[in-house]
Structure 1
Amino acid sequence: MSGTVSCIWRHPIKSHGRESLTEVTLTPGQTMPGDRVWAVAHEASKADGSKWVPCANFSRGSKAPGLMAISAELEGETLTLSHPDRPDLRFDPENEQEVFLDWVKPLMPADRAASARIIRVPGRGMTDSDYPSISLCNMASHRAVAQKLGQDLSIARWRGNIWFDGLPLWEEFEWLGKKVQIGEAVLHVRERIVRCMATTANPETGVRDADTLGALNSWDHQDFGVYAEVIKGGRISLDDKVQVL
């Protein structure tokens, strides 16, 4: 049984924008190129860019739903961010932090720790997992959640990297500990992804409008998608085959 790649996404700044791709080349032991390269540490964070730290150290969509409506376009080291309530911002995250902090400030709730600085950990993306991971998401599972809620849902709510279609509902949970070939690459599936409040926000508006967590809990879990580690590099393109080895 095999599926096909339906979407590929990267998120250059963790929780601050998404970008759709048509193909990507993966490297063993690495996150997707251009994915979560940077993260935004808040004023109470201990993150200094020297090592990976948990997501609680960063400004993120679970605490600031307005961030979920950001889209991104990464060209080299230059990033363009767009949001329905803000003018487009084109900047260099390495050298123009202040202009970003001014831009994002209106999107942050007043009762939350303010965004303070952009950090980058050399050699890896700032994934939620303590190892460089790529998230795999199932379109059938997404459609089931939307049907349970009786409303249209954007897949951007889940901030997944590689989406596949043509396989059964929750099939991805059967992959734990197994190897999955996607295009030329092979990934080792390590764990299910436990979801948070970020998924309740509409990616077009940044307003919470769907009880995604309640829908997931109707299946007696709060998980959507799986984290996988690249063990064989190679190119992945839209419509490539996805199959368990």
Structure 2
Amino acid sequence: MSAAGRVSALWRYPVSSMGGERLERMELLPSGAAGDRTHGVFHAGTGEIAYPGRKREWMALPRAFSRRAADGAVEISTDGQGWAGIDDPGGLAPLSALYGFPAAIRPYAGEGEAGPRPRYARAPLHLLTTAALRTLQAAIPASVLDERRFRPNILIDTPEDVQGIPEYGWVGREFQLGGAVLRGTIPCARCAFTTLEQPGLPDDREVLRALLHRFGRDLGLYCEVVRPGPITAGDAVTLPEAASA
């Protein structure tokens, strides 16, 4: 086995398109990160699911935050300081004011259940390396980048001398992180969400232009869970040695 890097950050996004929470430990299930992207933002009047990048009225979604409380309940915040339950009018009112429409947070339907389905279901997990971020930053040096623009579940810290986007070499390969084993599936295609304003990140159309024209629209890697288990920040990422010719 060879070390390809270490887990630098773990992210969970209880509500799709809202800001997420950085964790020190994450439990990986066959379906992905436990508690990840289980809810969505909806227009309380029409029932329409919010879809950033498709309509201008949805573009403020990543400017608010979501997290899991100690009991597993989903909580929301407009400033990352004061938190409220998703059924609390005292929390929904400022969220609606920020978004500019009457907002509701609702759970997605499970497999075989009636109800709204997640917009994205390409893969259980999304992984990104710091090498990929450095490579994109070199193409758009004036842009403000960090992993939050790309919403990975797992950020892998790779050595400074690693160039390009090394995770593409993990497609079809199994690799271990902590107590879990993953397999790379396909590169992650990007959309206008990468350009949207978030706390500390300005609106920046150059990000998507660079991804479209220099990177084939992709950045990062989708993964599936081969063996569920816990992972923690600092865990090594190990891959089998490549077979000799």
For the aligned pair, the TM-score class normalised by the smaller chain equals 0.7 to 0.9
Give unmatched runs, 5+ long, in structure 1: 46-57
* Residue matched to 2:147: 155
**1:31 CA displacement:** 1.9
Which residue in 1 is equivalent to 2:235?
A: 240
Query: Alignment RMSD, CA only?
Result: 2.8
Q: Which aligned pairs between 1:1-245 and structure 2 lie closer than 5 A? A: 1=2, 2-27=4-29, 29-42=30-43, 43=46, 45=48, 58-62=49-53, 63=55, 64-75=58-69, 76-84=71-79, 88-91=82-85, 93=86, 96=87, 101-108=92-99, 115=103, 118-122=106-110, 126=118, 128-130=120-122, 133-150=124-141, 151-166=143-158, 167-204=162-199, 207-245=202-240
Q: Which has the larger radius of gyration?
A: 2
Which stretch shifts more, 117-126 or 234-243?
117-126
Percent of aligned pairs with the same amino acid: 25
Instruction: Give the corresponding residue for 2:243.
Output: none
**Partners of 1:30 and 1:230 within 8 A in 2:** yes
The offset of 1:116, in angstroms, is 5.5
Deviation of residue 168 (structure 1)?
3.7
Q: CA–CA distance in 1 between the matches of 2:193 and 2:109? A: 23
Q: Give secondary structure in 2 for the equivalent of 1:88.
A: coil
Report deviation, 1:22.
Answer: 0.6
Q: What is the rounded CA distance, in whole Å, between the counterparts of 1:163 and 1:127 in structure 2?
A: 23
**Offset of residue 195 of structure 1:** 0.7
Q: Output the CA distance in 2 between the equivalents of 1:117 and 1:90.
A: 12
Q: Report deviation, 1:123.
A: 6.6
1:108-152 residue CA offsets vs partner (Å, 9 max, x unmatched): 367xxx655613333799472255x11001111112222322233
Amino acid of the residue matched to residue 206 of structure 2? D
The structural deviation recorded for 1:208 is 1.7
1:95-116 Cα deviation digits (max 9, x unpaired): x176655333233367xxx655
Count of equivalent residues: 224
Distance 1:32 1:127 in 2: 17
Deviation track 1:36-69 (CA, whole Å, cap 9, x = no partner) reads 1212244364xxxxxxxxxxxx314324232112
> Kindly tell me: are residues 68 and 35 of structure 1, through their superposed partners in 2, closer, same or farther at Cα, counting changes over 3 Å?
same
Q: Secondary structure at the match of 1:228?
A: strand
TM-score (norm: length of structure 1): 0.79
TM-score normalised over the length of structure 2? 0.79
Instruction: Tell me how far 1:89 sits from its aligned partner.
Output: 3.8
Aligned counterpart, 1:51: none
